[in-house]
Structure 1
Amino acid sequence: MFVGDSMTIGSAGDFTWRYRMWQHLCSLGEPFTVVGPRTALHDKESGEPVSHAYADPAFPPDARRHLAGWGEGWLHMAPLIGDAVRAHRPDLLLISLGLIDLGFYTTAEQTAENLRSFVGEARAANPGIRMVLLPVIPNVRADHDLPFAEQCRDLNVRMAKAVADLDTGASPLLLASRPDGYELLTDTYDGTHPGPSGEHRLAAAFADAMHQAWGVGGPYARR
């Protein structure tokens, strides 16, 4: 199950990195199922998650499932994840959260506490669940807002500590690396949200982390 903010839900006309991951998993020829309570993209005109205008209309409806929202972070997902795990029964969560928290809602310290709450709620619903977390990728705001940039660095340190503290053999946690070669100028369309090349890099970060650490899937074929 994909869990994330605006970078994960995407907006009307996007492929999304979820689509790129689905393509990757299909290419491996191994069985998998994408689960989650939502399927839509964010519609910028209405400001609501009501669009189904994916860039590839052949993206199957079942593979579009996720738990992601425009403007939603750890603060919002921690209270939702338990019910989502119980209802949709994922074995694995691919999580990209944190930037929106720091931008609008919580400090790095508070965000890290919400992360820990999220992990606890997910495990209460499925004690054997596995989770891969992506570190925060500072957006263009960090170029001119030094306190915000420091909060991004602080949260990534706290995320690494939380993963080290909370990782267990029964319910492994994994912190992926920052996507290889990710550049805001070329991999986003607005300094925050991924364009096609950024989508591939995000998917690759998750795919390669799972393969290298757990032997799950295979290395991402660079496109």
Structure 2
Amino acid sequence: MLRFMPVGDSMTIGSAGEHTWRYRMWRHLCETYGGPFAIVGPRESLYDKTAQAPVSYAYAEPDFPRAHLAGWGEGWLHMAPLIGGAVRDCRADVLLVSLGLIDLGFYTNAEQTAENVRAFIAGAREGNARIRMAVLPVIPNVRCMSDAPFAEQVAAFNELLAKTVADLDEPRSPLLLASPPASYDIHTDTYDGTHPNASGEHRIAEAFAEALYQGWGLGADYEG
């Protein structure tokens, strides 16, 4: 059985009332993956904006495997120390990782964030020497439209991320850089310029699905 773990920030955990791209990805795998699989992770909740805490289970469609390692306001900086234990305890085989926007926005510059990517990858491999990781570049958000230095940091980090993935890729534990979601539009695919609405969820799931299929032959083209 192949065990997938979604890892991410607020765009991955989602908030009360949403489906999340995790749900869209699970549906895609149900329809296209030819063998048994599981969605794993140490957390299951959504973020509750009223409580300002990840305490909600009010998914738009609650009947799916909701496990993940994602957090509102958490980035590579926060996940790097956690990933080894999560991979080991949940026996994860494939990580679907979407991180970086919060790091660049509040915590670290592009170079420092790239160092945390390296720490994350090392930690994941400590948890499972044969772990596979599909990594999504940072999707520019509305802040990039008005904050040129931030936009430059996002672009610089995405270049460093591509180099890091290429440098650290190895046959025993392959790394895969997903392509950014095709035609992603913050005006129509988000509800606030950052967080995905239903169409944005599909586009993020599609980015991971296409990477898995084209890179490793897992699943099929996304038809969500």
Normalising to structure 1: TM-score of the pair?
A: 0.97
The within-5 A match list for 1:73-84 is 73-84=75-86
Which whole-Å CA distance do the structure 2 matches of 1:56 and 1:181 have between them?
26
Q: Deviations over 1:41-91 (max 9, x none)?
A: 00000111000000113x23xx10000000000000000001101100100
Which whole-Å CA distance do the structure 1 matches of 2:139 and 2:30 have between them?
27
| Root-mean-square deviation over aligned CA pairs | 0.7
How many angstroms does 1:124 deviate by? 1.1
- Report the counterpart of residue 175 of structure 1 in structure 2: 177
Aligned match for 1:164, one of 160, 163, 166: 166
The within-5 A match list for 1:89-168 is 89-168=91-170
Local SS of the residue matching 2:188: helix
Structure 1: gaps of 5 or more residues:
none
Letter in 2 for 1:161: K
Where has structure 1 moved over 6 Å in runs of 4 or more? none
The within-5 A match list for 1:1-223 is 1-28=5-32, 30-57=35-62, 59-60=63-64, 63-221=65-223, 223=224
Structure 2: gaps of 5 or more residues:
none
Local SS of the residue matching 2:42: coil
Letter in 2 for 1:208: E
Which whole-Å CA distance do the structure 2 matches of 1:162 and 1:173 have between them?
10
Query: How many positions carry a matched residue from both structures?
Result: 219
Which whole-Å CA distance do the structure 2 matches of 1:124 and 1:84 have between them?
11
Local SS of the residue matching 1:25: helix
Which whole-Å CA distance do the structure 2 matches of 1:128 and 1:56 have between them?
32
Normalising to structure 2: TM-score of the pair?
A: 0.96
Identity %: 66
Which whole-Å CA distance do the structure 2 matches of 1:18 and 1:173 have between them?
20
How many angstroms does 1:30 deviate by? 3.0
